[in-house]
Amino acid sequence: MKVLIETHGCKLNSADSQKLAQEFVAAGYSVIPAGNTPDVYVLNTCTVTHVADRKARQATASARRRFPSALTVVTGCYAERAEDAVAALACVDMAVTNRAKATIVARVTEHLRARLTPCADGAAIAAAPILLGRTRASVKIQEGCDQVCAYCIVPKVRGRERSIPEGQIVAEVRSLAAAGIPEVVLTGTQLGSYGCDLEGTDLAQMVARTLRETPVSRLRVSSLQPMEVTDALLDVWTGAGRGRLCPHFHLPLQSGSDPVLKRMRRRYSPEAFIRTVERVRAAIPDCSVTTDVISGFPGETDADHAATVAIMEVALFADAHIFPYSARPGTSAAHFTDSVPIEVRVARASELRKVARRHSVQHREKFLGTVRQVLWELRRGSEGLTDNYLRVRLAGAADGKEPAQERSPGSLIEDVRLTGLDGDMMTGTPIGAK
């Protein structure tokens, strides 16, 4: 029986979907790529904004039209936050919360009354990693958040902080590397808190051990809070991780206004944030620093917005994910009475995006003429990522002069000289394949 898994939202959801795909295959199902007709359609949802909820509803409605005979299963954070509402949707057959994700395969099998035989002799299938359309694998190292920012629903849908033991992470990364996966992304809800519930470890020690005990070509840390970037962690980048630990730091800013940050219950000031960015760039000069920013948080004034613009002008982010504030039921900010009009939120987001785009171009221009290692996403030349998170395609690939070539996951990390800019993507020419 064929299963199609669609994933919305963060890299943690990607890791969960990859694990779910492995569980389906081990049970005797076939996980298929988009563009095929499934017997089971699974949507792994996000709920960080109302837009994420709307996208989930649209995706399930579309799936029902395209696959009227398929069993439609919705899981993830939207199903965790509003299980009854999701289950009541006419296009949804089954809603499964984050807490019950481990039961999805069994529940689907029972619902379908399927009789599956994973292997003729009863042995488990030794399946190759299923990356669901990517050449990078995401490995969950931690889940949950105890920080409870005023705007954030994640603590309610992901629970309290809990870490995956070091040995389990190392074994999973080693297995992925042995299967030919060239890059592993370490992901979680609050990565800097890794080890808070374990003895004798923290994020720096775990990353160093993973590099030491696995042959993975590239290891990437998905996101860090500014106050979690310690000297010990930076030492891993400049020491044991040099050449393998990707020089990319995603540091959520959210606001450049100190009063707004305090109201958000963020644990840093704008000045402390900039000091962290400066320390990172001093240690790893060729790194990329990306961020998230919320426009129009309740009570945000024109002066607060101007302060965010000013901090962005100093930080010079390589990229920024900017979105208007969206009230989430169950968060403290949802009860604030001084909301900013939606048209103001949208206008401020638009201004911040213009600033971010200008800095993004400037950042990419710095690397023109340099050589970076590019990991292609399935098709060589069509699109890939450098170690420092620049999107690249081969010059001529878009117009057919340099045809994209099919590659198996993990088959190619290539040295590419970056020669031009094409919208949000850099272009380049190969100087030798690995």
Q: Is the pLDDT of residue 406 over 80?
A: no
Q: Are residues 297 and 385 in the same domain?
A: no
> DSSP string covering 344-370, please?
HHHHHHHHHHHHHHHHHHHHHHTTTT-
Q: Is the pLDDT of residue 126 over 70?
A: no
The separation between CA 309 and the C-alpha centre of its own chain, rounded to angstroms, equals: 25
* 260: in domain: no
Helix (H) or strand (E) segment spanning residue 311 = helix 302-315
Q: Are residues 336 and 404 in the same domain?
A: no
Alpha-carbon torsion (291, 201, 272, 156), positive or negative = positive
* 234: in domain: yes
8 Å CB contact between 255 and 308: yes
What per-residue confidence (pLDDT) applies to 220? 96
Q: Is the pLDDT of residue 434 over 60?
A: no
Q: Is the pLDDT of residue 80 over 90?
A: yes
* 425: in domain: yes
Q: Are residues 6 and 76 in the same domain?
A: yes
pLDDT confidence band for 377 (50 / 70 / 90): confident
* 193: in domain: yes
Read off the tokens for 237. 């980048």
Q: Which of 55-69, 75-89, 142-156, 304-318 has the lowest mean pLDDT?
A: 142-156
Percent above pLDDT 90 for the chain = 76
- The residue from 45, 78, 112 where one domain ends is 112
* 73: in domain: yes
pLDDT confidence band for 179 (50 / 70 / 90): confident
* 120: in domain: no
pLDDT confidence band for 180 (50 / 70 / 90): confident
Per the structure, the count of domains in the chain is: 4
8 Å CB contact between 197 and 161: yes
Q: Are residues 360 and 377 in the same domain?
A: no
- The residue from 202, 229, 246 where one domain ends is 246
Read off the tokens for 28. 């005797």
Q: pLDDT digit string (tens) for 320-358?
A: 999 999 999 989 999 999 999 999 999 999 999 999 999
Q: pLDDT digit string (tens) for 262-298?
A: 999 999 999 999 999 999 999 999 999 999 999 999 9
Q: Show the domain range for 306.
A: 272-366
Q: Is the pLDDT of residue 433 over 50?
A: no
Q: Are residues 7 and 72 in the same domain?
A: yes
Q: Are residues 404 and 362 in the same domain?
A: no
CA 116 vs CA 33, 122, 162, 381: distances in Å: 21, 11, 34, 40
Q: Are residues 72 and 146 in the same domain?
A: no
What per-residue confidence (pLDDT) applies to 133? 56
What per-residue confidence (pLDDT) applies to 119? 54
